[in-house]
Structure 1
Amino acid sequence: MSLKYKANNPNGIYFITLTVVEWADVFTRRAYCELVCDSLSYCQQKKELTLYAWCIMTNHVHLICSAPKLTDVMRDLKKYTSRFLVDAIKNNPKESRKNWLLWMFKSAADKSSSHGEYQFWQLGGHYVELSTNELMEQRLEYLHQNPVKAAFVEEPEQWYYSSARDYAGEKGRLEIVLIE
């Protein structure tokens, strides 16, 4: 991975995208989104993760965040959520795509020596340091407009799994620090 996509500044605020392998639409189920939210909340409480903005789309997650050891936090978050999301899919009797999703995660793991039986997230992550107010505003707008551009909602704050609610003055799903 090039240095361009790593969190090199321990005091920096980063825009990060985590993507499901093969862009599989996993986060169409509330239970799977809740697992990611619970994991992010844990990282906030136990791993010094500060969230400024976030959005869970159907096949990827956007975060604007910081932490003293951000790369380690994201590694742990991905490792934990991978295991528990795969288990949630396996144990969901209503999951109509179970066999297909598990096959896809297994196929991805077979191509990588660093994974066990299943690989949920694509390798690495896309880290962009938000070193200027202009970059911060651009990425914040992009993140919150994602569900609107995908035609899931008409207004950003209508998307439950996003910090857009907080920025609209409503109570969101996760605790965040508003970017002023």
Structure 2
Amino acid sequence: MSRKYKIRDQDKLYFVTFTIVEWIDLFTRRIYRDILLDSIRYCQKNKGLDLCAYCVMSSHAHLIIGRNGDQPIEGIVRDIKKFTSVKIIEEIQINSQESRKDFLLWHFGKAGRFNPNNQNFQVWQQHSHPIELNTNDKLTRCLNYIHQNPVEAGIVLSPEEYLYSSAANYAGLPDRLMDVILVE
């Protein structure tokens, strides 16, 4: 494994990406986005997660995170991915409205069978590729990248219009989905 993508300093901020296996467009459904955001909220409240920026796209999520407690960042990331994997699979299995149920369970099951770290299903790709944001330039570039993601994808015209992003927080708009610690 590359040493480039390691969390070395627990007191720094990191840009991380959580990607669904095979880049499947799972987050086209609100219920799955909400499972992810609820897990992040739980970790903010109970595990010392500092969320500074986020954007949930159809097949992945970008975050800028740090910590304010004793739990290591990689432990928080592991917990988010593990919990959301279980909840997403449960939701797929019980949701009679999920038209992609067989497709999703087959792909997540296939990924799980090929990964010795899983028993049945794998929702997330294994690595989050943390990048330490140890300069203001890196922080600014990653923050802009996160917020421009839905604009570049042609979903919205301006970043703050995208509901599943912290761009509205940074624009000072009301009715934001998540509390974030503003950085710049």
TM-score, with structure 1 as normaliser: 0.97
Partner SS state of residue 5, structure 1: coil
Deviations 1:74-118, CA, capped at 9 Å, x for gaps: 011100000001111111111111100110000001111110110
Give, in whole Å, the separation in 1 of the partners of 2:163 and 2:97. 22
- Determine whether 1:80 maps to 2:83: yes
Superposition deviation, residue 123 in structure 1: 0.7
Structure 1 segments (4+ residues) deviating >3 Å:
none
- Whichever residue aligns with residue 176 of structure 1, its letter is V
Q: Partner of 1:174 in structure 2?
A: 178
- Determine whether 1:159 maps to 2:162: yes
- Whichever residue aligns with residue 30 of structure 1, its letter is R
Superposition deviation, residue 9 in structure 1: 0.4
Q: Partner of 1:63 in structure 2?
A: 63
Give, in whole Å, the separation in 1 of the partners of 2:78 and 2:90. 19
Q: Partner of 1:21 in structure 2?
A: 21
Partner SS state of residue 4, structure 1: coil
Alignment of 1:1-180 (within 5 A): 1-67=1-67, 68=70, 69-171=72-174, 172-180=176-184
Give, in whole Å, the separation in 2 of the partners of 1:2 and 1:77. 23
Superposition deviation, residue 128 in structure 1: 0.2
* Identical aligned residues as a percent: 43
How large is the RMSD of aligned CA atoms in angstroms? 0.9
- Whichever residue aligns with residue 92 of structure 1, its letter is N
Give, in whole Å, the separation in 2 of the partners of 1:2 and 1:11. 21
Partner SS state of residue 27, structure 2: coil
Superposition deviation, residue 124 in structure 1: 1.8
Give, in whole Å, the separation in 2 of the partners of 1:109 and 1:36. 19
Q: Which runs of 5+ in 1 are unaligned?
A: none
Give, in whole Å, the separation in 2 of the partners of 1:117 and 1:63. 27
Partner SS state of residue 151, structure 2: helix
Aligned residues: 180
Superposition deviation, residue 3 in structure 1: 2.1
- Whichever residue aligns with residue 93 of structure 2, its letter is K
Q: Which runs of 5+ in 2 are unaligned?
A: none
